[in-house]
Structure 1
């Protein structure tokens, strides 16, 4: 009897803690940003004399916690070892926090919506208990740290053997770029990011693989590890994530090859094999990685637009990527396909997607478009940059990508504050909105009369 009461109380306490997950997420990230801003404002955080301004510290702390990668100064030379360590810790905290909180929210929503998400070892989760929370958090942390260790090992060996870096320097560079890549942060120790490694497959492909895996999301990676041989049994989440991710990588690679093959400042000077590899890596980075192996400022207008689209879509749910998420985009594509065929239901594989999920996807996409449109208008009014540059910067900040045409440092103070808000909203917004919409669902005891209207 006592054990039953204790278990019930534990389950009730855990559920109550996630009753309003949006508030928890927003408060956690805001607190981390405040702490990071305070640490980066210290004189010891900068390599030269003086200290970073409050806005500069706030901008970089937000960019690190929200794993974006937009910077106004060079990370490798402006910040001291202490400052770089703070940025690295903020990236790690932001990445782990995103994956943990997003996965726990997905666990909560899977119970509320009755979806077989398979987020933990059990086939289906009926309720959230303290044991479930501990198991999920432990699995996310172990998976993240193990992945970063493997990536860091490969990069360290390559830096030491291929570029004659001393062991300590190679290890530091390997660890820094591994954490930044897996968490889709995009912070690098070189002012040209990965451009110097554009022809090096060991570094370029390793970083790209880290970005893709980190951006898939823990639930998808976990399910793929268990059931990669049986695609027919995949959940809707995994099926949409894998299909859309593969499609975007292929379309992005082909798009870069077509648009940039003759550009002497990007893919033009590279050999055939290197060109394909560079195009693939460049297409993987807009998943919200922030690294660039090509000069973004030298891209043709059509390539900038392609990158805008890839950044807006982003990566997988419950992962370190940003954007509206491939699941949102993929679900809307399935909705469009069902509507074009005249099907009454939206089906993915052998599962029917409830109308609530469809409305949530539509709400996230439309609100994201609205935020980007308003922010682009404001930033365009504050600066003299071209529309392409401003739109690219806004989408990059909102989608927590970190790619830039090089205008970030020249944006006025008011514009940088806007970018800070965009990074924060873009990081917590889609997840908070999705959880809030799902948890607000309630049954209605009556329905109003139906009336069709003209559409189009």
Structure 2
């Protein structure tokens, strides 16, 4: 005779089940960052000079695929610690729920409705749709890209570091690049390969592919022609190419004769390669091949703008996203043309898309300004360097002008919070903080004067 044993639910479990999917997702990421910090704090993970706050900062930076660091990853952490960082980058870049759903599907367990809601928030989707197919696409694309990237990078690292550590360097940087994390194993990032053609091809290719977004990659694989692509894919491709060409030419023009950056390079080809790398790394990648701290203020401001924009939705990158920026431009054009709808590639966008974009941009700017305000109180460094650091943290970029290591405890906590908010997403946080209520009273229309 079988006796049914009732399932016991603790108070913590009941509270977790009452959380909305965005809140639960944010909780998952926070728990992962805490576990990662504890793992990196273990004696086996470092060489004895890493405090818990430093380990937690590194973990948060890895989970949010940012790349900002307060200690040198290559010298402060052991191989075990570096493996922990790589795992955190992979989980944070592709998404915790992506891995969970992939594993459950692989062993034949169906994914429930509540899990699909969380996955929808993790992948920044508006509908539940066939999320399992998207998850499989994400995992397959990641494995292929990171594998190919590691093989190609091995041709650079193995000759200088030997087979064992050289292969590990190739794998680590391939994972870091594809997930737009920007973690490197050298204190000067990739500056020693500033004029290496293979490095300037493989690393940017990885973070551009990872930054396009898995929906775009899946769309390109399925349709394989421009006419059949969705509006989102077309906007992402056009926006990405336009931003890359613009930033590439602008960086070269602004820094060509700067003795601290491009001016220190001997050949035109080396300057072109360095301009290309710095132009695309601002799309939340975080690697650099020149000294970021010696750039002109005008270049710094341009890079801050690009970091705030970021890359694509459902990608490994951060920022407000390219499509958000494009919709902002389209809405501005529509206002001056006195039209009520937005048009792009034969499709129209409604008011809901514009409202979401405005909300996302407003919240993002608010987070950056509040973070900068608090950090500027506790730190007396250069204002533009602080602004660059905070913007890099929010865009989960990881580029630094050297200020991160100089911040006090308050400053580091603020940077961690900004990284977390930048990864989880301002709108995602706003969704579970806001209560959806139906208006019971309607008010007569009013008029305000703008501008």
Q: Structure 2 length normalisation: TM-score?
A: 0.86
Partner residue of 2:142? 144
Contact 1:313 1:324 in 2 (8 A): yes
Partner residue of 1:375? 371
User: Is 1:104 aligned with 2:114?
Assistant: no
How far has the Cα of 1:63 moved from its partner?
Answer: 0.4
Partner residue of 1:342? 338
Deviates more, 1:273-282 or 1:256-265: 273-282
How far has the Cα of 1:431 moved from its partner?
Answer: 5.5
Q: CA separation of 1:71/1:19 partners in 2, compared to 1, >3 Å: closer, same or farther?
A: closer
| Deviation per residue, 1:96-137 (Å, 9 max, x gap) | 2179399734888543xxxxxxxxxxxxxxx64xxx343332
How far has the Cα of 1:143 moved from its partner?
Answer: 1.3
How far has the Cα of 1:328 moved from its partner?
Answer: 1.1
Partner residue of 1:258? 253
Cα RMSD of the aligned pairs, angstroms, is 2.5
Partner residue of 1:224? 220
The 3-state SS of whatever aligns with 2:282 is helix
Q: Distance in 2 between matches of 1:375 and 1:93?
A: 26
Contact 2:121 2:428 in 1 (8 A): no
Q: CA separation of 1:360/1:144 partners in 2, compared to 1, >3 Å: closer, same or farther?
A: same
Q: Distance in 2 between matches of 1:108 and 1:71?
A: 27
How far has the Cα of 1:194 moved from its partner?
Answer: 0.9
Partner residue of 2:80? 82
The 3-state SS of whatever aligns with 1:233 is coil
| Deviation per residue, 1:274-306 (Å, 9 max, x gap) | 212211110111111111111001101111111
Map 1:16-27 → 2, pairs under 5 A: 20-27=20-27
Partner residue of 1:272? 268
How far has the Cα of 1:430 moved from its partner?
Answer: 3.4
| Deviation per residue, 1:224-268 (Å, 9 max, x gap) | 2222422x3332221221122111111111111111000112111
Q: Distance in 1 between matches of 2:23 and 2:303?
A: 32
| Deviation per residue, 1:144-182 (Å, 9 max, x gap) | 11110011111112323xx44322222111101000000
Partner residue of 1:416? 412
Q: CA separation of 1:194/1:225 partners in 2, compared to 1, >3 Å: closer, same or farther?
A: same
Deviates more, 1:36-45 or 1:264-273: 264-273
Partner residue of 1:285? 281
Q: Structure 1 length normalisation: TM-score?
A: 0.85
Partner residue of 2:309? 313
Q: Distance in 2 between matches of 1:423 and 1:291?
A: 17
Deviates more, 1:38-47 or 1:165-174: 165-174
The 3-state SS of whatever aligns with 1:352 is strand
Contact 1:99 1:218 in 2 (8 A): no
The 3-state SS of whatever aligns with 2:424 is helix
Gap regions ≥5 residues in structure 1: 1-16, 112-126
Among 314, 329, 343, the residue aligned to 1:333:
329
Map 1:65-76 → 2, pairs under 5 A: 65-76=63-74
Q: Distance in 2 between matches of 1:99 and 1:392?
A: 31
Contact 1:103 1:136 in 2 (8 A): no
Partner residue of 2:3? none
| Runs of 4+ that moved beyond 6 A | 439-447
User: Is 1:453 aligned with 2:425?
Assistant: no
The 3-state SS of whatever aligns with 2:343 is strand
| Deviation per residue, 1:55-86 (Å, 9 max, x gap) | 11110000011000000111111101111111
Gap regions ≥5 residues in structure 2: 1-16, 99-115
Map 1:40-439 → 2, pairs under 5 A: 40-47=40-47, 50=48, 52-97=50-95, 100=98, 104-105=120-121, 109-111=125-127, 128=129, 132-160=130-158, 163-230=159-226, 232-268=227-263, 269-430=265-426, 432-433=428-429
What is the aligned length?
A: 417
Q: Distance in 2 between matches of 1:98 and 1:304?
A: 33
Q: CA separation of 1:108/1:62 partners in 2, compared to 1, >3 Å: closer, same or farther?
A: closer
| Deviation per residue, 1:352-375 (Å, 9 max, x gap) | 112111111101111111111121
Q: CA separation of 1:21/1:297 partners in 2, compared to 1, >3 Å: closer, same or farther?
A: same
| Deviation per residue, 1:24-69 (Å, 9 max, x gap) | 320110111011011011111112xx35212111100000110000
